[in-house]
Amino acid sequence: MTALNIYIADDDHEDRSFFIEALDDIPLSTEVTQFNNGVDLMDKLFSDDCLPHVIFLDLYMPIMDGFECLMDIRNFKKFNDIYVIAYSGIYREREVNQLKDDGANQFLKKSSSYKELKRLLLESLNKVKKFKKKEVENNEFIILK
């Protein structure tokens, strides 16, 4: 597989930078596009012919949060093949179950440990590669924390 095309939507610039730094430090080839809100992410999705392989969605953003983005993404057939990973610093079982019902592929709990974040991202993106190769079921939902 060529480089994984990744979109990250998170309103916190420091969190995005930490996340991208960790992505750059794992043994996978990635191309990352950043968004600081869900509206800009959705605008890019609708304007692009080349869709991302995976989207990391922060759940709690102003303007349009990750829950709303997920609903919009899953309402359009052209986005069916995009792997969506919702993430947050807070794990709430009810919300994670809702994400699963709404069509997310994974939930990832943010880590403040660089080493732990790298481990979680590598595990998460290896699942994306298996999904793209059709080695896992479309409805498989994974929680990484």
Tokens of 92: 């709430």
Q: What is the pLDDT of residue 18?
A: 94
Q: Which fold has domain 4-144?
A: Rossmann fold (3.40.50)
Tokens of 126: 């290896």
Parts of the chain with a pLDDT under 50: none
β-pairing, 54-58 vs 4-9, is parallel
Bridge partners, residue 55, by sequence: 7, 84
Q: What is the pLDDT of residue 50?
A: 87
Domain residues of the chain, as ranges?
Answer: 4-144
Would the pTM count as exceeding 0.85? yes
Q: What is the pLDDT of residue 127?
A: 84
Q: What is the pLDDT of residue 73?
A: 97
Q: What is the pLDDT of residue 51?
A: 94
Q: What is the pLDDT of residue 20?
A: 94
Q: What is the pLDDT of residue 26?
A: 93
